[in-house]
Amino acid sequence: MADQSLGAALEREHREIDGDVEKFVTAVGAGETRIDALGRAMVSLRRHIYLEEEFLFPPLKAAGMMGPVMVMLKEHGQMWQTMADLDVRLAELDGGDATAVETLCRELVGELQEHNGKEELILYPQADAVLDVEASADLEDFLAGGTMPEGWAATMARRG
């Protein structure tokens, strides 16, 4: 990743996740590839939220960006709930009418478009400037193949 900034790498993940969610919404029929794309997107989005909340947001908060980080945390919680609703609908789908899943996917696409634009404009440009060498290396290592811990949830989606 040495040839690109952290912000650019994070934006690339946004495009990949968005593309997989949109594949479900725009694909014709209920083929397995639609469901595979959506499943891949949800795993990737959860992982992406984890890396932001655990690796990116703490140094940004420490650098005085508490307000923008809090907005992102709130939106992560909203997306996390939409994905939980999608999980329920997908479990109930079993080859039937995908209308409810498509509606939730459109909702998620809207949430992502609004959220990603803010992150890319406000937070990502700060990533390379604010993160120290160790924090940058940790984030880069995770981007290269890290996995989210079992049972982890977005900060604003945690109960109790």
pLDDT in tens, 78-113: 999 999 999 998 888 776 677 888 899 999 999 999
Dist CA 134 CA 16 (whole Å): 26
Percent of the chain with pLDDT over 70: 92
What CATH superfamily is the domain 6-145?
nmb1532 protein domain like (1.20.120.520)
Q: Tokens 């909340």 belong to which residue?
A: 53
Let me know the angle formed at the C-alpha of 33 by 30 and 37, rounded to the nearest 5 degrees. 110
Residue 71 pLDDT = 97
Instruction: Give Cα 154 to chain centroid, integer Å.
Output: 10
Q: Is the pTM of this model over 0.85?
A: yes
